[in-house]
Structure 1
């Protein structure tokens, strides 16, 4: 009997990476289905989300943090809606703080998952060309500054980047510090936007919307050009 259990433990240990990979993919598929077909209307409607979150009473903050963690881990769920809902439910400051807690916790989990189970997991979740592109960028100049800038600039898939950082050479400490610092402005702006939706401050909503849309477009359209220039400059040294 003991030999049987030892044999099973050896087999499980040997195939641990594959087991985790399959489990992770199943979780992604399940949450993706739930979001895409059943609950997407909740995430996109701050009134419904507020009612659901506050229905948990003293545990409402914990529930919201868990939602943020799940959004980061399953990175194709748009995080902006949840961050805006945070401001709508808890106000600009506390909504931002709670969102930051959940997002930071989720980012740490993603980094450690990718670090432990490596490239096969990341390749299953993302396109190989995206991994190559981001890893190339992380090798440009100071990794700390690159990570900070990527998390600061709107329009870049920040949650997906956390997986790539996990299989890169950036340390957990540096990832935690610089990704968190880079996220802070965007999170609090989204939370402030949510508060203004609640107070129906149309002027502020239009102003913030126009500014953030402009910055978002710059991030999408000019981000690659900025990165290419960084790579060219490094090659000249």
Structure 2
């Protein structure tokens, strides 16, 4: 009778996978190792999820800057938010990439579709004048316009695409021209809640200096053009 009870208990133990007394240390070690493996798998999934989440977040930030070239909303808010979320360096990189993608997209769209349509309504003389202006003043005008925050970003994209400014000239002048304001906005976004008063004054003074320099360069260029006339 006793042997039958012991046999039944042994069968129940085997069915439940319960260890015997001598096997307890081994069983516990296996359980701990299995739990650690499960934890490693969980940690791996969490890390992969974080990578995907941050990649999507970066893509959304870049996409918003690109969408700004087609939709009327202020890109300065996005740049400030990028500075707050990603910091001044990566915020600047993300904002700059998004702005460049948007500028290139609108330039390509207007250059391929809009310019041929617009040129149908221009005489040969006016087209020649646009070509001469693009050669003489196009690069300087584009670069200075990019440095002045008061001139709409999208308006510059559309206007440049209607001229004879080359793709390469448009890209490097845009990339260089938007960089100071992009850095400034992301620095402001990063320290918006913690920057001391003197830092705000310094940034505003720097912005005013850039504006004065670009305004002076613009006026000198116009006076030189009025005095000499366009080159033939």
Structure 2 length-normalised TM? 0.61
CA shift in 2, pair 1:101/1:63, >3 Å = same
- Conservation of the 8 A alpha-carbon contact between 1:115 and 1:167: yes
* 2:173 alignment counterpart: 178
Give RMSD over aligned pairs: 3.2
Shift in Å, 1:98: 0.4
Indicate if the aligned counterparts of 2:147 and 2:211 stay in contact, CA closer than 8 A.
Answer: no
1:196 touches 1:205 (CA, 8 Å); kept in 2? Answer: no
Structure exhibiting the larger radius of gyration computed from Cα positions: 2
| 2:103 corresponds to which of 103, 107, 121 | 107
**Which of these residues, 64, 67, 72, is aligned with residue 64 of structure 2?**
67
Alignment of 1:1-237 (within 5 A): 57-74=54-71, 76-119=72-115, 139=134, 141-213=136-208, 215-216=210-211, 225-235=219-229
d(CA) in 2 for partners of 1:154 and 1:142?
20
SS of equivalent to 1:72: coil
- The CA deviation at 1:66 is 0.6
* Mapped contact 1:151–1:179 kept (Cα < 8 A): yes
Structure 1 residue 103 displacement after superposition: 0.1
Secondary structure of 1:139's aligned partner: helix
Is contact 2:147–2:177 with CA below 8 Å preserved after alignment? yes
Task: Name the counterpart of 1:49.
Answer: none
In the alignment, structure 2 segments of 5+ residues that lack a partner are 1-52, 119-129
Structure 1 residues 174, 218: closer, same or farther in 2, change over 3 A? Answer: closer
After superposition, the Cα gap between the structure-2 partners of 1:142 and 1:159, relative to the gap in structure 1 and judged at 3 Å, is same
TM-score (ref. length: structure 1)? 0.60
Q: Could you tell me how far 1:175 is from its partner in structure 2?
A: 0.7
Q: Does structure 1 conserve the Cα–Cα contact (< 8 Å) formed by 2:144 and 2:218?
A: no
Instruction: Name stretches of at least 5 consecutive residues in structure 1 with no aligned partner.
Output: 1-55, 123-134
Would you say how many aligned residue pairs link Structure 1 and Structure 2? 170
